[in-house]
Structure 1
Amino acid sequence: MTSHTQKHPLIEQLIEQHIAFIEQQLLDTKYLQQESALLCDWLENKSLADFVSLEQVQLFFGDLLIHRDIPHNTLTQVGMHLSQALTHPINQNTTIAQVINPLHVDALAQYTASKTTQRQYFIAQMTKHPAFAHISTQLIQDVLNDYFQSHVTEKNGHVSRFMKIGKSMLENVTDLNLSQAIQQYLEKNVSKLAVLAEKLLNQQLSDDNVYQLHVQLWHERKNTPLSNVQHYIDPNDLTQTIPLLHQFWDHFRRSEFFAQQLQYNLEIWYAKQKHQGVLDLLDAIGTSKNQLVTQLQQHASSLLEKFIADGELKKRLQPQLQAFYYSPSTLELLQKL
């Protein structure tokens, strides 16, 4: 309908009736349920490949995970809400056992205990690291020095005299004081210490010991209030630490490594899923056909009710219907009635 077309009262009434009919249909619960079921029947015979290609999937996830930035304000808001959750008063009266199932803890303990190869590899790498050797030798040196010093100065004369004689003989033979002698010995035998430490850690962290450690920690901590988490996480820092942690993710997601891994895994996923039915894919995430019909009908009903009540549907339908009814071909047909 152009601005120069003269409105016809009968056509205007027809348009109003047409709009009213559509609105009535869309507000009919049985009609929406039927249409939702028909839509799901149609989807049941369609596969993923009927709707999206591999390229479209890659473009979508590339945009979502690589090119789309999370606003700094959003990260700050996440930190604020986590902070509020940590400081909520209910945490003081809620224990760990009330929010974690002990059966799940047992399953985790069994799983962790079974990872013998991975645990041994980690211990080997840790004990061979120079930092471990430095800390170990420093600790042993301090303990031995403290032991000798405490016995040299103790009131028991025989033990003190024996310690002083031994200390004096060692220093005369080696031309080093006791602390230097211990340090020199430890530095020469640091590789032996690493091997011994690895052996002892593997003995102490056997499968059974790791499992028992989980059980022991659970029984020690299960009645601890959730508010104790604040001993490990400062709620006031979260608005700064969340954006800081995001910087690491932001750099990683822009790397060539991540881009290639994303592309590779999407190719594998799409090759396996492209011939799967759409409803089968939904079923894989726990949504059955009946649930989908119900959700479509419920959400569509509430959305359409609000859309119609606000006059938005009429506002959009009216110009389209006017363009249709006042078109030359439609007017010609109406004149034949």
Structure 2
Amino acid sequence: MQTSKDSQNQIPKVDTEKADLANSHSQASLADTSLTIDRLIDAQVAFMQEWLRKQAEPLSVEAWQWFGEQPLNKYVSRDHLQHLVNDWLLNQPISDVVRTDIRDILHTVIYHPVNDNVPLSELVDDTQVETLANYVGSHEQQRNVLIHTLVGNETFADLLTQTLYHAINDFMETTLDKAGGVGKLMKLGRSSFEKATNRNLDEKLQAYLHRNIKDLARRAETNAQEHLSNEEVARLLVTGWARIKEQPISHLQTYLRDDPDNSSIHHIEASIQQSYNRLRMSPYLHSLVAASIDTWYGNHQADTMATIAASLHIDEQAMTQFSTALLPIVQDMLDSSWFTAHIREMLQAFYNQPAIKESLITNSE
């Protein structure tokens, strides 16, 4: 007869078998669920990629429409713009790559063969020159500056002094050499003059020419300012332009050097770099930039993004064309391994949530 103790020993054996069976069933369910999740993820990845490929263009248009309705001050503040300009533009020097590009582009533009067949008038319209000439001629200060530059320029007076001196000196030397005894007598007189006055005749001649030519230039400038009418000044400018406007643009190349060791373009680019570096660190420029940003932001902070874009001729049609141009890039991105891996990782994280796993296991039973 079976004792109570024997009965107690048999119960755990039955429970253990049930537990093992349940555990085995659970592991099988988990395995089946894992297979199901993997298949789901594969199918969803493929579906999402295909769906996004088809919807990429309309989605971009809808995204632009939504973005265009947002006001500027919702996402961009005055400080954001200040930091953008200061940190990204003013605080950064021009990189060596950009400097090389500037030099190469300048060389291409200046020495392009098309410049041989295009006149200067293609760059500047006659009406622009006439407008400028009339403006300069009708403003006394600008007119006087122009006359001073043309007539009363001290550099021009110095150059004329040296030219006349060399001409006179060359004439005298040539004449004295051919004058025989008279020439020797004149040279003796010159020597005696220099000893008596303790001054070099050449220096005396230069000083005389310099003083008198400068005086003549000042008188000519005064007369020109008194007697040249507004119309005459304007006509001078227009006439000067008419003389050069039909010359080819390539004529400007005559004022430049294109030697590898002494290139004008290199000097121009270096000057641009030097000026930019000096200005971008200047408190003066920073003050003007800050004031300009304040003015612009004050005018447009309540405008929508679409309104601001429209002022730059960027409308919905332009954005559609832009989206179409970018579509091949988007398609390649959707098919890329890194994008696929990110989608798969996101879906795996979703299905690994305990509640989702438990729901799948329950449904599979």
Q: Which structure is larger by alpha-carbon Rg, 1 or 2?
A: 2
The aligned counterpart of 1:156 is none
The aligned counterpart of 2:351 is 325
Does residue 96 of structure 2 align to residue 72 of structure 1?
yes
Does residue 128 of structure 2 align to residue 108 of structure 1?
yes
Q: Output the TM-score relative to the length of structure 2.
A: 0.68
| TM alignment of 1:42-57, pairs within 5 A | 42-57=66-81
Cα deviation, residue 144, structure 1: 8.7
- In the alignment, the residues of structure 2 paired with residue 181 and residue 112 of structure 1 have an alpha-carbon distance, to the nearest angstrom, of 42
Percent identity of equivalent pairs: 13
Cα deviation, residue 256, structure 1: 0.9
- In the alignment, the residues of structure 1 paired with residue 121 and residue 347 of structure 2 have an alpha-carbon distance, to the nearest angstrom, of 59
The aligned counterpart of 1:167 is none
CA RMSD of aligned residues (A): 3.9
CA offsets 1:149-194 (integer angstroms, 9 cap, x no match): 979x7xxxxxxxxxxxxxxxxx9xxx99899589558637956742
Kept in 1, the 8 Å contact 2:82–2:293? The answer is yes
5+ residue gaps, structure 1: 154-170
CA offsets 1:308-331 (integer angstroms, 9 cap, x no match): 333332022111111112112332
Kept in 1, the 8 Å contact 2:147–2:221? The answer is no
Structure 1 residues 233 and 144: CA distance shift in structure 2, 3 A:
closer
Structure 1 residues 286 and 59: CA distance shift in structure 2, 3 A:
same
Cα deviation, residue 218, structure 1: 0.9
Of 244-253 and 198-207, deviating more is 198-207
Structure 1 residues 13 and 198: CA distance shift in structure 2, 3 A:
farther
Structure 1 residues 179 and 200: CA distance shift in structure 2, 3 A:
farther
| TM alignment of 1:161-240, pairs within 5 A | 180=204, 183-184=207-208, 187=211, 190=214, 193-194=217-218, 196-197=220-221, 199-200=223-224, 203=228, 206-219=233-246, 221=247, 224=248, 226=250, 228-235=251-258, 236=260, 237=263, 238-239=265-266
- In the alignment, the residues of structure 1 paired with residue 235 and residue 274 of structure 2 have an alpha-carbon distance, to the nearest angstrom, of 40
The one-letter code of the counterpart of 2:273 is H
Cα deviation, residue 245, structure 1: 3.2
Does residue 301 of structure 2 align to residue 301 of structure 1?
no
The aligned counterpart of 1:271 is 298
2:70 counterpart SS class: coil
- In the alignment, the residues of structure 1 paired with residue 267 and residue 210 of structure 2 have an alpha-carbon distance, to the nearest angstrom, of 43
Kept in 2, the 8 Å contact 1:32–1:301? The answer is yes
- In the alignment, the residues of structure 2 paired with residue 79 and residue 126 of structure 1 have an alpha-carbon distance, to the nearest angstrom, of 32
- In the alignment, the residues of structure 1 paired with residue 162 and residue 270 of structure 2 have an alpha-carbon distance, to the nearest angstrom, of 42
CA offsets 1:275-333 (integer angstroms, 9 cap, x no match): 1221111111112222213322x144211211133333202211111111211233244
Kept in 2, the 8 Å contact 1:109–1:211? The answer is yes
- In the alignment, the residues of structure 1 paired with residue 71 and residue 299 of structure 2 have an alpha-carbon distance, to the nearest angstrom, of 12
The aligned counterpart of 2:312 is 285
| Higher normalized contact order (CA 8 Å, seq sep 6+, divided by chain length) | 1
- In the alignment, the residues of structure 2 paired with residue 15 and residue 121 of structure 1 have an alpha-carbon distance, to the nearest angstrom, of 82
